[in-house]
């Protein structure tokens, strides 16, 4: 029987900063997907029983009624092939690819999640989510996210020609990504807002074994206290722009790894 083993990656931001750079990173993520699915290379002997893509795969994504942004065909083709083979691939919506309305699920076969959720991996529970708009602070972004989630705004944006709408959104994405790139102060976990969210969730779910998030673009491992005095690891997955880091959880242990 295969040992339950999940792999996680986030923040590819496909399309940024330019087509050539984006395509190189896309090919790298495709190699990673193929290796973890097969249990070769970086996943030698430990094939994935599920893969979690933890948001911001695209620097901007919007599904028009009869069109989607161009690019990403290597990645999307690989994901479709994996799901067709029976491997579960979970897609956790990020703040840059918030506007997915069914195309990714229907065409690629991914399981879409819009809020952080607990997942059962073998005998253990793992918390997974993108990480935007959670924890204390950042009230401005939380208000903005409510606006972006408005069906009325989404309908209005759909009326803008894709050449104009996508160009405008990509410029906005560049500014938004810069704010997420601010480095954390790892000497005091209380300054990391996702850590606070994990602490609240673990208090309500003391059997949780690990927390995995993205969004911050900085790979990190912090200890989240349980009510009984033990700790749960919070792992931020970093990004696939400069770090090329990923997570793995198997047999009750969480790992933060680098893809060479």
What are the φ and ψ backbone dihedral angles of 179, each rounded to 5 degrees? -70, -35
- In total, how many domains does the chain have? 1
Q: What angle do CA 30, 26, 216 make, to 5 degrees?
A: 105
Q: What is the mean pLDDT of residues 145-170?
A: 66
**Chain Cα centroid distance, residue 33:** 14
Please state which of the ranges 10-24, 171-185, 244-258 shows the lowest mean pLDDT: 171-185
Cis peptide before 69 (omega within 30 of 0): no
Give the bridge partners for 220, in sequence order: 236
Q: Which of 9-13, 96-100, 132-136 has the highest mean pLDDT?
A: 9-13
Higher-confidence residue of 90 and 141: namely 90
- Whether residue 30 contacts residue 143, with contact meaning beta carbons closer than 8 Å, is answered with no
Label residue 191 by pLDDT band (50, 70, 90).
confident
End-to-end distance of the chain based on CA atoms, in angstroms? 29
Higher-confidence residue of 29 and 135: namely 29
What are the φ and ψ backbone dihedral angles of 92, each rounded to 5 degrees? -100, 115
Q: What angle do CA 196, 205, 218 make, to 5 degrees?
A: 35
Non-local CB neighbours of 138 within 8 Å, separated by 6+ positions: 193
What is the percentage of the chain residues whose pLDDT exceeds 70? 82
Q: What is the pLDDT of residue 172?
A: 62
Q: How far is CA 42 from CA 32, 39, 167, in A?
A: 8, 8, 36
Tens-place pLDDT, residues 45-69: 999 999 999 999 999 888 888 888 8
pLDDT at residue 186 greater than cutoff 70? no
Q: What is the mean pLDDT of residues 188-196?
A: 84
**Where in the sequence is the domain holding 173, given as residue range(s)?**
5-258
**Can you give the pTM of this predicted structure?**
0.89
CATH of the domain at 208: 3.60.21.10
Tens-place pLDDT, residues 67-121: 888 889 999 999 999 999 999 999 999 988 888 999 999 999 999 999 999 999 9
């Amino acid at each position: 029987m295969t040992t339950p083993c999940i792999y996680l990656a986030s923040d590819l931001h496909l399309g940024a900063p330019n087509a050539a750079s984006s395509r190189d990173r896309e090919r790298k993520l495709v190699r990673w997907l193929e290796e973890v699915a097969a249990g070769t290379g970086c996943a030698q002997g430990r094939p994935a029983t599920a893969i979690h893509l933890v948001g911001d795969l695209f620097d901007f994504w919007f599904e028009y009624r009869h069109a989607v942004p161009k690019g990403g065909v290597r990645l999307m083709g690989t994901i479709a092939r994996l799901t067709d083979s029976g491997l579960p691939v979970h897609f956790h919506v990020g703040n840059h690819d918030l506007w997915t309305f069914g195309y990714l699920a229907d065409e690629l076969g991914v399981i879409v999640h819009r809020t952080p959720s607990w997942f059962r991996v073998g005998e253990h529970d793992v918390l997974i989510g993108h990480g935007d708009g959670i924890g204390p602070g950042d009230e401005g972004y939380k208000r903005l996210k409510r606006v972006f989630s408005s069906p009325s705004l989404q309908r209005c944006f759909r009326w803008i020609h894709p050449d104009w709408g996508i160009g405008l959104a990509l410029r906005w994405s560049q500014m938004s990504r810069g704010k997420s790139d601010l480095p954390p102060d790892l000497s005091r976990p209380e300054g990391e807002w996702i850590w606070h969210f994990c602490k609240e969730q673990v208090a309500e779910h003391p059997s949780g074994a690990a927390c995995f998030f993205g969004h911050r673009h900085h790979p990190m491992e912090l200890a989240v206290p349980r009510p009984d005095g033990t700790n749960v690891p919070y792992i931020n997955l970093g990004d696939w722009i400069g770090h090329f880091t990923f997570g793995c959880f198997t047999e009750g242990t969480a790992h933060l790894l680098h893809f060479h």
